[in-house]
Amino acid sequence: MQRVTHMFNAFLQVVSKELKGAFRHPSDILNPIWFFVIVVTLFPLAIGSDPALLKRIAPGIIWVAALLAALLSFERLFKDDFIDGTLEQLMLTPFPLAWLVCAKVFAHWLLTGLPVLLVSPLLALFLALDTETYTALFLTLLIGTPILSLLGAIGVALTVGLRKGGILLSLIMLPLSIPILIFSTMAIDAAAYGQSYLGLLALLAAMLVAAITLAPFAIAASLRVSVS
Amino acid sequence: MWKWLHPYAKPEKSYQLAGTLLPWFVAASVVTFVVGTVWGLLFAPADYQQGDSFRIIYIHVPAALMAMGAYSTMAVAAFVALVWQIKLAEMSVAATAPVGAVFTFIALLTGAAWGKPMWGAWWVWDARLTSELILLFVYLGIIALYNAFSDKVLAGRAAAILTLVGVVNLPIIHYSVVWWNTLHQGATISKFAKPSMAPAMLWPLIIMIVAFAAFLGTLTLMRFRNEILARESHRPWVILLIENSNKQYLQEHK
């Protein structure tokens, strides 16, 4: 029992350390969000502002922009900890590395996934989404962005020791995130046509469960490769 | 029970085994390639709907199958490498990846060439084509990751992890793409009980599949041997091997 409380304490401590570190450099959190909003803004400017057209392509735009913004934010997930030796210290703790990695990914989601959710109403206004479609968008982002964080963490963990890991990270991670993109945009499309999208949400949720159970081990194994 | 396997964890033994297997794979692929291409491209009857352009399946289907086959062998090797910490399995992952990528590329290219007369476009966003394209991306990611590390021991382990991540993801990707869109004709020979293909057309295809499998084996074995030599280049047995082959070369060219 005591061990369980210790483990939860460790989890909370890692999360709070991450949050404190991030709030000391607020631009690290804000920049990817700005990027997300700017990319979404570019599309109406490039394609035209016809509301019917925007409504049709909105799910794709928002999800691709969310993916790109996520890519930008991944670097800081392990990079600083890798450079200053915190990762090695995490490996030396008596707690399983996979568990601590969960805490780090959760903190990362709080700092990058959650803000995307918070600015999403603004984008709904920009892209002329109705309430039903927006609800679907919000739900897919809510379920989908944690999967992105977990997948991205695998990529970062594999590339953190490399000098030019950034582009490699996108090469590794983008193909793996295709199912999330497909199911999310399908769900939003279904909502836009007034159909039920619960099944698609359930599939996304199933992927989230699979990612939460499997990804931490892959991340931990990758970190051990990168740190050794 | 598995004791006979143990000696092959030694690079030297594995190198020799690959060397003895190689000629058999070469012979098998040469014979089946000649028989399969001549039979399939010249003697098999033309399709009543697609005419002669259906013959591209004699390259397309085996390449696509072996592209996935290569990935499955990589996944098994990666699992072995990570669970039992066997360095040679990592090497075989690294050796197979480029071959698999090229097979995937061949499948895509022939698919496009077949799509032009059949669907009227070089590329359509059909489910199987798309998932094959994503398979290519995954292969390229693994190869890029492997090449990015200067320490090849770490590179092999990283590539093995990414291979396993990919193997969990690929079925999900495949089915997501299938639900997303589908235009491709259904599998023609997967249902062996009652294939929807005339035997005169089926036999050359099966021979070509064997040919591609043997060819995959050939290329992989060659790359595997190279990988072992490159990684073990400082070992006495490799140095001895090189000295001996040098001596032989000098004697022959005296």
Q: Virtual CA dihedral for B96, B102, B105, B109, nearest 10 degrees? A: -140
Q: Is B158's Cβ below 8 Å from some Cβ in A?
A: yes
- Which residues, given as ranges, of chain A have pLDDT below 50? none
How far is Cα A180 from Cα A148, in angstroms, rounded to an integer?
8
- Considering only CB atoms, B161 lies closest to which of A164, A174, A222, namely A222
How far is Cα B99 from Cα B220, in angstroms, rounded to an integer?
7
> Residue B205, Cβ neighbours under 10 Å: how many?
21
A-contacting residues of B 161-180, CB under 8 Å? 161-162, 164-166, 168-169, 172-173, 176-177, 179-180
Residue B211 has a pLDDT of: 93
Residue B169: list chain A partners with CB under 8 A: 176, 179
Q: What is the pLDDT of residues B122-135, one digit of tens each?
A: 887 777 788 889 89
* pLDDT at residue B185 tops 70: no
How far is Cα A226 from Cα B157, in angstroms, rounded to an integer?
10
How many C-alpha atoms does A125 have within 13 Å on its Cβ side? 4
Q: In the structure, what pLDDT confidence band is assigned to residue B189 with cuts at 50, 70 and 90?
A: low
Contact between A182 and B144 using a beta-carbon 8 Å cutoff: no
DSSP code per residue over A35-89: HHHHHHHHHHHHH---HHHHHHHHHHHHHHHHHHHHHHHHHHHHHHHHHHTHHHH
Shortest Cα distance, chain A CAs vs residue B245, angstroms: 37
Nearest Cα neighbor of A209 from A147, A137, A117 is: A147
Shortest Cα distance, chain A CAs vs residue B162, angstroms: 8
Q: What is the pLDDT of residues B5-36, one digit of tens each?
A: 888 888 888 888 888 999 999 999 999 999 98
Where in the sequence is the domain holding A148, given as residue range(s)? Answer: 2-227
Residue A171: list chain B partners with CB under 8 A: 137, 140-141, 144
Least confident of A89-98, A158-167, B106-115, B205-214: A158-167
Residue A76 has a pLDDT of: 79
pLDDT above 70 as % of chain B = 93
Residue A143 has a pLDDT of: 94
Residue A105 has a pLDDT of: 93
| Nearest-Cα residue of chain A relative to residue B181 | A182
* pLDDT at residue B194 tops 70: no
Residue B101 has a pLDDT of: 95
How far is Cα B45 from Cα A120, in angstroms, rounded to an integer?
59
Q: Are A176 and A152 in contact (CB under 8 A)?
A: no
Residue B181 has a pLDDT of: 64
Shortest Cα distance, chain B CAs vs residue A190, angstroms: 12
DSSP code per residue over B121-140: SS----HHHHHHHHHHHHHH
Q: Is B144's Cβ below 8 Å from some Cβ in A?
A: yes
Residue A210: list chain B partners with CB under 8 A: 168
Q: In the structure, what pLDDT confidence band is assigned to residue B191 with cuts at 50, 70 and 90?
A: very low
Q: Are A31 and A10 in contact (CB under 8 A)?
A: no
Residue B219 has a pLDDT of: 94
How far is Cα B127 from Cα A182, in angstroms, rounded to an integer?
12
How far is Cα B130 from Cα B140, in angstroms, rounded to an integer?
15
Contact between B173 and A225 using a beta-carbon 8 Å cutoff: no
How far is Cα A181 from Cα A188, in angstroms, rounded to an integer?
11
Residue B196 has a pLDDT of: 64
Q: What is the pLDDT of residues B151-179, one digit of tens each?
A: 888 899 999 999 999 988 888 887 777 77
* pLDDT at residue B187 tops 70: no
Q: What is the pLDDT of residues A117-158, one digit of tens each?
A: 999 888 888 888 888 888 999 999 999 999 999 999 999 999
Q: In the structure, what pLDDT confidence band is assigned to residue B192 with cuts at 50, 70 and 90?
A: very low
How far is Cα B25 from Cα B221, in angstroms, rounded to an integer?
9
- ipTM, two decimals, is 0.86
Q: What is the pLDDT of residues B32-85, one digit of tens each?
A: 999 988 888 887 777 767 777 778 888 898 999 999 999 999 999 999 999 988
Q: Are A128 and A54 in contact (CB under 8 A)?
A: yes
Q: Residue A48, by phi and psi: left (phi above 0), alpha (psi -120 to 50) or beta?
A: left
Q: Residue A194, by phi and psi: left (phi above 0), alpha (psi -120 to 50) or beta?
A: left
Q: Among all chains, which residue has been given the structure tokens 């193909």?
A: A175
| Count of domains observed in chain A | 1
Residue B183 has a pLDDT of: 45
Contact between B141 and A172 using a beta-carbon 8 Å cutoff: yes
DSSP code per residue over B156-168: HHHHHHHHHHHHH
| Residue B52 DSSP symbol | G
For chain A, what is the radius of gyration of the CA atoms? 18
Q: And the tokens for A133?
A: 């479609």
Q: Is B154's Cβ below 8 Å from some Cβ in A?
A: yes
Q: Virtual CA dihedral for B121, B122, B125, B131, nearest 10 degrees? A: 150
